[in-house]
Amino acid sequence: MAGKPLVLMVSSRSDRSSINDGAGGQMKLRRVRQALKRELEAETFLGGRLVEVWINEEEVGDHDQTAWDECVRQAQDCDLFVTLYDGSAGWSVAGGSVGICQAEFDAAFGVAPGKVKVIRLPGAKIKSGPDKNRDTRFLDALLAANRFEVPVDGGWSELRNRFMNSVREQVLKLAREGIRETRRSGGNVGQALDWSRMTFTDRSAAIGETIASALADRAGRRIAANGGRLVAATLDDTEMLFACHGAPRPLSTAAGREAVGQPFLLDHALVDDAEPGLAGPVHLIGCPKGVTDTQAVTLLGFPEFTVVEGSFGVYASDVVQKIQLCLLANCADPGSTRNAVERLVEWLTRSRELPIMAERAASRRRIIDAIRAEQRPITRAVGNGAKTGK
C-alpha cells in the first residue's frame, strides 16, 4: 500500500491583496494559492505525488466558527505549513480579536515550529482601519517567532520560485529528520536488540568474538589464547597479532571504560601463547556507539601519541612504547561490527598505513619480549642471608 502524501497547508488572506501576474495584470491571493496547489500537486517523485496541498477555498465554506475550527485543526495536523503574509491577520469570528491567519500560524507553530515557513509578499504592511490592532498582533507574533525567512520583491514568477524552493527545503528537512530518527531507533530491533539484552560480560565477549571472526575470515587464523580472541592476520604480506576486545557500554561512560581498561598492560601475558616473532599485538576495541580521539588518548595514557580519525572509528599509537589501539565505532550488532573491521582494513590499505603499523607492531613485540625476559624470580635479602622470592 502506497504511503499518503505529505500535507502542505497554505495560509493567507485571500480576498484583499493581489500580486503582479507578469502579464500586465493582477492575481488575487485566492488565485495564487489555487495556482500553487495545482502546480505542486502535478509534481511527482518516482511516479507518485509527494505532497498534497490544503487551502481553505476548496475545503471550508462561510467564515463561521465551523470553518474557523477546521482551519485551525488543519494547521495543527498538516506536515508542512506556509503563510503568504501580506500584512493582514485575516477574518475573525463575530468581531474576535485574533484573525484566522494568526490562529492558523499559532496552531502550526505551537505544534512544530520546524514545519512553518512565512513568505513576505511585496508591499506587505499593516493598513489603517478597524482591523489594525488585529493585524498588529499578527505581525508581533511573526516577529517573536523570527519566521520572516523568505521575502518576495517581485511578482508571480518570483513568488512561485520562492514557494517551490521553500517546500523542497522543508521536504528535505523532514527526510533528514526521519533518517536521524531511523538511525536513533536502529538498536531496538533484530540482532542489535539481542545484543542490548545481554549482560555486560556477554556483550563484551560477543563484540570481541565478532571482531576476531571478521578478521580471521578476511586474512588470518585464530589463536586459542584469550578466549579465541587473538588473531594472527596477514595484512600487506606481514603477519601481525591482533587482540580483539569489546566495550559493553560507550566509552563516554565509566562502565564502558572500566570494562576495557588498558588491555596493553597485559601484552606480555598475551604473547606467551603466540608464536615467537609474531609482530604485535595490535588491540582492536569494538564500541557500541561513536568514539573520539580523546577517548583513545585516555586509554593510552601517554602524552606522545599519534591519532587518526576515520569512518571506522579512531586509530591511536604511542610513539614511545609502540602500543597501537583501534577503537571501532558503532559496533551495535554483528553486521555493523564486521563492517567496522572492513572499513578499518580498507583505510589501512588505502592510506598506506599498513607498513607503518607492521613496523610498530614488530617494535612492540621486541619490547614485550624484553619485558617477558625480566619476568624471572626476584632475589631479596632476609637477615644475613638471601632468599628467592616467588
For the residues 256-284, what does the mean pLDDT come to?
79
- Compute the distance between CA of residue 295 and CA of residue 289 in angstroms, rounded to an integer: 12
Per-residue pLDDT at 182: 59
Which CATH architecture group holds 6-184?
3-Layer(aba) Sandwich (3.40)
Dihedral angle at the C-alpha atoms of 16, 20, 25, 31, nearest 10 degrees? Answer: -50
Higher pLDDT, 260 or 69: 69
What are the sequence ranges of the domains in the chain?
6-184, 192-374
- C-alpha cell recorded at residue 348: 589501512
**Residue 263: cis peptide before it, omega within 30 degrees of 0:** no
Q: In whole numbers, what is the pLDDT of the chain averaged over residues?
A: 82
- C-alpha cell recorded at residue 113: 515550529
Could you tell me which of 211, 119, 131 has the C-alpha nearest to residue 166?
119
pLDDT at 57 over 80: no
User: Which band of pLDDT confidence, cut at 50, 70 and 90, is reported for residue 87?
Assistant: confident
DSSP state of 43: -
Spell 166-202 as b/e; 16+ CB within 10 A means b: bbeebbeeeeeeeeeeeeeeebeeeebeebeeeeeee
pLDDT at 389 over 50: no
For the residues 180-200, what does the mean pLDDT come to?
66
Other beta carbons less than 10 A from residue 386's beta carbon: 9
- Strand pairing partners for 309? 314
Please check whether residue 125 is in contact with residue 26, taking contact to mean a CB–CB distance below 8 angstroms: no
- Compute the distance between CA of residue 273 and CA of residue 222 in angstroms, rounded to an integer: 12
Q: What is the 3-state secondary structure (H, E, C) of 56-101?
A: HHHCCCCCCHHHHHHHHHHHHHCCEEEEEECCCCCCCCCCCCCCHH
- C-alpha cell recorded at residue 92: 475573525
With a pLDDT cut of 90, the percent of the chain lying above it is 11
DSSP state of 30: H
Q: What is the 3-state secondary structure (H, E, C) of 253-278?
A: CHHHHHHHCCHHHHHHHHHHHCCCCC
Task: Name the phi and psi angles at 244, rounded to 5.
Answer: -110, 130
DSSP state of 228: G
For the residues 295-308, what does the mean pLDDT come to?
79
- Compute the distance between CA of residue 326 and CA of residue 311 in angstroms, rounded to an integer: 12
